[in-house]
Chains A and B, each alone.
Chain A
Amino acid sequence: NAGVTQTPKFQVLKTGQSMTLQCAQDMNHNSMYWYRQDPGMGLRLIYYSASEGTTDKGEVPNGYNVSRLNKREFSLRLESAAPSQTSVYFCASKLRDRNQPQHFGDGTRLSIL
């Protein structure tokens, strides 16, 4: 089992460019999440999908869109990248039951110049 797989691992963009971060999980989890991690700020939730067919905003959704393509895949899109979006992005998944831990991918390191 690969767990949660994120692609790409690294990316450099110019301001105004667009890109989609991909995430796939093979654990048959219902819920999926996108976080960003910045120094001293912990993990901040961008968007989440409680189950296939639903998506909801998290703490910092501005400048991002998401698509829950199917049960396995949840993508994050930056339509017009800004330097403030330079960060490490993590995807996570978990079973729908509340008292279950999230399982994380190894992140996408995104730099916007």
Chain B
Amino acid sequence: GESVGLHLPTLSVQEGDNSIINCAYSNSASDYFIWYKQESGKGPQFIIDIRSNMDKRQGQRVTVLLNKTVKHLSLQIAATQPGDSAVYFCAENNRGYQKVTFGTGTKLQVIP
């Protein structure tokens, strides 16, 4: 079976509730941040991104918040659905640098 998801922090939420997934990033020079969703057996899928000149960005049912003071990023999912069950990664892009650094991920389990 798929080995991604073992040993990851897990967030369990009731269907219909809101979910908040947190991420601490490491580099104060990072200026672009991305959230990815990875379902079992699949590659990471882009959800939403935010640049460092913003502190909030909204998409469809998702909101990303950026707090540069404490180097913290969060992903809020409204009205969580069973299809939201997956591993969620944050990623940071350093200013002027081609490489992206990924977090280890949080597993979201939606309880029907």
Contacts and interface: CB of A to CB of B under 8 A. Distances in A.
A48 to B, nearest CB: 6
A76 to B, nearest CB: 15
Contact of B32 (A56, A88, A99): A99
Interface residues of B, number: 28
B32 A98 contact: yes
Interface of B: 3-4, 6-8, 31-32, 34, 36, 41-46, 49, 51, 89, 93, 96-100, 102-105
B4 A37 contact: yes
B99 A45 contact: yes
Q: Which of B34, B41, B44, B102 has the most CB atoms of chain A within a 10 A radius of its CB?
A: B44
Contacts of B45: 104
Interface string A88-106: 1010100000110111111
A63 B97 CA distance: 24
13 contacts: A4-B43, A37-B4, A41-B104, A42-B105, A45-B100, A48-B99, A50-B98, A102-B100, A103-B46, A104-B44, A104-B45, A106-B41, A106-B42
A43 B44 contact: yes
A35 B93 CA distance: 16
A99 B44 contact: no
Nearest to B34: A101
Given A31-B98, A99-B93, A39 B4 contact: yes
Contact of B89 (A39, A43, A58, A106): A43
B93 A98 contact: yes
Given A39-B3, A48-B98, A102-B44, 5 more contacts: A42-B89, A42-B102, A45-B100, A99-B49, A106-B41
